[in-house]
Amino acid sequence: MLKGKTALVTGSTSGIGLGIAKALARQGANIVMNGFGEVDGPRAEVLAAGQAAGIQVAYHAADMSRAADIEDMMKYGADQFGRIDIVVNNAGIQHVASVEDFPVERWDAIIAINLTSAFHTTRLALPAMKAANWGRIINVASVHGLVGSAQKSAYVAAKHGIVGLTKVTALETAPTGVTCNAICPGWVLTPLVQKQVDAKAQQLGVSNEEAKKVLLGEKEPSMQFTTPEELGELAVFFCSPAGNNVRGVAWNMDGGWAAQ
Ligand code: NAD
């Protein structure tokens, strides 16, 4: 379905971004990966997912807190494959502390990586998408783009912000073949959340499995983690012809979290 298209997925060396990159690769899109940590293993996974479709995978190490790096990465992606047709703004970090104890440097980093980076990729991708009259911008927000939780001021502010950016981008592209939508997961068991499970296990003196149940029980009525694979399939839907007129939505996959 996406043969000949190119998708750039930020923060795709791990977790949700890797799941989305694999799902888009399976549909035949060439992938520009990005993110920190080990690259070869995740890159091999994405290549394998798209092997039957004969895709290519490139990687750029842009630090998503730096505008100049993002400009380099967007240029690199376009140079490699001709054009970036799909941007998935996924890179993100978390820090948990009360407002008065929140380290200023962590606040700035979260706003830069979880919100401002999407402004940069979007402004840089839109001209070519509009010229081609086709494009998809998918912002990985969070259920925290819709509701708040204590101790997560920067994250909740950034995620509400990216839902706002999604709506404005969708309005500005509404008469074109470019769409912009947000995905709002509840708990997904990635390294970002495992840190919170570990903290809960330590705080309560319980096992890893018990801590997962406590975390889910506080927020997610289904008592199930959403998976990167499920989120990947939602991204595929946004890229499909059936998604042509889905514009500006913040679509939760949260086990009922925001329905409460
Ligand atoms: P993760 O820690 O597994 O992956 C985060 C990715 O972002 C990694 O590839 C990491 O290298 C990359 N990254 C971090 N800082 C970066 C930077 N400065 N520059 C470039 N890349 C950077 O986390 P995840 O859970 O897969 O999170 C992915 C996205 O999903 C985030 O935006 C997160 O807020 C969102 N999200 C996660 C959950 C969850 O429960 N895990 C729920 C809702 C939303």
Domain of 37, CATH number, reads 3.40.50.720
Known catalytic residue at 155: yes
Using the mean position of ligand 1's atoms as its centre, give its distance from the Cα of residue 6 in Å.
21
What is the predicted pLDDT for the residue at 97? 98
Letter for the amino acid at 104? V
The DSSP 8-state label assigned to residue 102 in this structure reads -
- pLDDT, tens digit (0-9, with 9 covering 90-100), for 136-179: 999 999 999 999 999 999 999 999 999 999 999 999 999 999 99
Both 63 and 162 in one domain: the answer is yes
pTM: 0.98
DSSP H helix total and E strand total for the chain: 9, 7
Q: Ligand 1: does its nearest atom lie under 6 Å from the Cβ of 35?
A: yes
Write the CB contacts of 56 (distance below 8 Å, at least 6 apart in sequence).
Answer: 30, 31, 80, 81
ipTM value, please give it.
0.99
With pLDDT > 70 as the criterion, what percentage of the chain qualifies?
100
Per the structure, the complete domain to which residue 207 belongs is given by 188-225
The DSSP 8-state label assigned to residue 49 in this structure reads H
Q: Ligand 1: does its nearest atom lie under 6 Å from the Cβ of 25?
A: no
What is the predicted pLDDT for the residue at 136? 98
The number of distinct structural domains making up the chain is 2
116 in a domain, yes or no?
yes
114 in a domain, yes or no?
yes
- Mutational pocket test of ligand 1: of 12, 14, 147, the residue with most ligand atoms within 8 Å of the beta carbon: 14
Angle between helices 117-132 and 67-81 (to 10 degrees): 30
- 169 CB-contact burial (10 Å; exposed 0-12 / middle 13-18 / buried 19+): buried
The tokens for 253 are: 């996959």
- Mutational pocket test of ligand 1: of 96, 152, 188, 227, the residue with most ligand atoms within 8 Å of the beta carbon: 188
Categorize the per-residue pLDDT at 219 as very low, low, confident or very high, splitting at 50, 70 and 90.
very high
- pLDDT, tens digit (0-9, with 9 covering 90-100), for 85-136: 999 999 999 999 999 999 999 999 999 999 999 999 999 999 999 999 999 9
Both 116 and 36 in one domain: the answer is yes
End-to-end CA distance of the chain: 36
Q: Mean pLDDT, to the nearest integer, of 61-81? A: 98
The tokens for 228 are: 């990167």
Instruction: Please say whether the beta carbons of 165 and 250 come within 8 A.
Output: no
Q: Ligand 1: does its nearest atom lie under 6 Å from the Cβ of 257?
A: no
What is the residue whose two structure tokens read 């995905």? 183
Q: Ligand 1: does its nearest atom lie under 6 Å from the Cβ of 188?
A: yes
What is the predicted pLDDT for the residue at 202? 96
Q: Mean pLDDT, to the nearest integer, of 68-78? A: 98
